[in-house]
Amino acid sequence: MNKYDSEIIAGLLTSEGYRITEKEEEATVYLINTCSVREHAEKRALGRIGTLSHWKRHNPQRKLGVIGCMAQRMGETLFIQKPFLDFILGPDEYSKLPDLIANGHQEHCTEISLHGIESYSTIEPKRRSGIDGFVAVSRGCNNYCSYCIVPYTRGRERSRPIHDILDEIEKMIDENYVEVTLLGQNVNTYNDGQHDFADLLQQVNNIAGIHRIRFMTSHPKDLTDKILQTVASSEKVCPHLHLPLQSGSDPILSKMNRGYTRKEYTNLVDRARRVIPDVSITSDIMVGFPGETETDFQETVRLMKDVLFDDAFTYRYSPREGTKAFQMNDDVSEQKKRHRLDQIIKLQRQISFKKRQNLIGRCIEVLPEKTSKQSPDEWMGKTPGDHVVIFPKKHIRLGQPVKVLIESCRGSTLRGKILNCKTGNN
Ligand code: SAH
Ligand code: SF4
């Protein structure tokens, strides 16, 4: 979502005549888009801001701004820590940026109201060039998972009108994009008053010119059978669900306020696998939540071994001030958190490797996304299930879907060759 927001800001500022530069010394305005989900992300951002004090002092006319969730969360205290900053802007206030930058020397300006209506629907994002791009379908979140800062920094959930989303995707086609990822903290609850998420998927599926549709994130409690069936029946919607589990232990899930049990989660995975052939399922898993015992942790391990995710992002719990979990006793030692994290990283690596190995010998559609880092003569592309594949370019163009015979698997990468094969699809 932050990457998409940066594209919105780039679109907003370029329409005002600004130009993006990668060269620090050339820039007159420097914006740092920040994340607050974990303390580590904030520490890194603060470190980066610190290194920019020289950039600002070199020419005080320059403007240095911190935007995004950390700006929202910390507000004025950021000026105390980093007095050389010019402005602080939360995720609902980006429309004010051009004025803020143009209005000269407004010292220490903070714009962090959360009015819960901003959707930036009229701003055309400036995407990185490529074949795949993001489109936000909703902003904010109403779930209040007890560990999570997002509802406090991004406000209540609101859905964009379906026509704005469809228009934005139509424009992407004019710029040669062939894959779109629909974004929201919880896309499954998308509802613009007349259309739900399944309707949205169907309508995007009807747009000629788009070849693949992805979406994230799916909250397990809101992934309905209607959505599963729509994914299965819409040929452009990729058979891939990012379905954050967080924990395999019922008491922990309850303390996290996730709204599902272990059994409900595994039942959902079973249903998804029945309804969507060859569906790939990825997840987010957290260890060390307050009160997580060894037994709770082993429940997570057991579930990972049962479900066999294609891949997973794994995290150590990070207390976030203002959340409900912050009041709980953060009683799992840092050492234990690290040890548990190491165990699930290792386990997931083995599972992911086995899953990828199972694809060897199959003929799968791959969409070439960019030249492989390893060789200028090879494409890097992805399967509908989001597995990375490297293959010789031959006559295939960027963004041209092609059937590839998967021949080998090294680390997280599959290798294959272009083939006119008839068997298999995903
Ligand atoms: N809306 C999405 C993404 C939320 S943030 C969802 O509901 O899944 C992405 C991931 O960061 C979460 O799934 C969670 O695993 C992790 N996360 C969020 N808050 C965290 C915290 N306080 N400590 C550690 N990990 C956290
Ligand atoms: Fe955070 Fe939960 Fe909302 Fe995801 S669903 S953004 S984890 S509160």
pLDDT at 305: 98
Q: Which-ligand-closest: CA of 332?
A: 1
Q: How many residues does the chain have?
A: 426
Is 37's C-beta closer than 6 angstroms to any atom of ligand 2?
no
Percent pLDDT > 90 in the chain is 89
Is 246's C-beta closer than 6 angstroms to any atom of ligand 2?
no
Helix H or strand E encompassing 283: strand 280-287
pLDDT at 426: 44
Question: What is the rounded average pLDDT of the residues 255-269?
Answer: 98
Written as six digits, the tokens of 200 are 């949205």
Which 3 state secondary structure label does DSSP give 12? helix
Question: What is the rounded average pLDDT of the residues 301-310?
Answer: 98
Predicted confidence (pLDDT) at residue 248 exceeds the cutoff of 80? yes
For the chain, domains (ranges, CATH) are: 2-111 (3.40.50.12160), 132-357 (3.80.30.20), 363-418 (2.40.50.140)
pTM value > 0.75: yes
Residues 6+ apart with CB under 8 A from 245: 220, 265, 283, 284, 285, 300, 303, 307, 309, 312
pLDDT averaged over every residue in the chain: 94
Residue by residue, DSSP assigns 136-181 as ESEES-----TT--HHHHH-S-EEPPHHHHHHHHHHHHHTT--EEE
pLDDT at 424: 44
Is 37's C-beta closer than 6 angstroms to any atom of ligand 1?
yes
Is 185's C-beta closer than 6 angstroms to any atom of ligand 2?
yes
Is 220's C-beta closer than 6 angstroms to any atom of ligand 2?
no
Alpha-carbon dihedral angle through residues 384, 129, 242, 364, given to the nearest 10 degrees: 10
Q: Which residue has the higher pLDDT, 421 or 232?
A: 232
pLDDT at 421: 52
Find out whether the peptide bond into 14 is cis, omega within 30 degrees of 0: no
Choose one of 186, 245, 247 to mutate for the ligand 2 pocket test, by most ligand atoms within 8 angstroms of C-beta.
186
Q: How far apart are CA 70 and CA 89, in angstroms?
A: 9
Is 217's C-beta closer than 6 angstroms to any atom of ligand 1?
yes
Is 152's C-beta closer than 6 angstroms to any atom of ligand 1?
no
Among residues 134, 97, 139, the alpha carbon closest in space to that of 119 is found at 139
- pLDDT tens for 60-101 read 899 999 999 999 999 999 999 999 999 999 999 999 999 888
User: Cα of 215 to ligand 1 centre, how many Å?
Assistant: 17
Question: What is the rounded average pLDDT of the residues 17-30?
Answer: 94
User: Cα of 322 to ligand 2 centre, how many Å?
Assistant: 14
Choose one of 139, 284, 318 to mutate for the ligand 1 pocket test, by most ligand atoms within 8 angstroms of C-beta.
284
Check the CA dihedral 299-300-303-305 and report its sign. negative
pLDDT at 105: 59
Specify the residue for token string 């802007």. 89
Is 188's C-beta closer than 6 angstroms to any atom of ligand 2?
no
Is 150's C-beta closer than 6 angstroms to any atom of ligand 2?
yes
Predicted confidence (pLDDT) at residue 425 exceeds the cutoff of 50? no
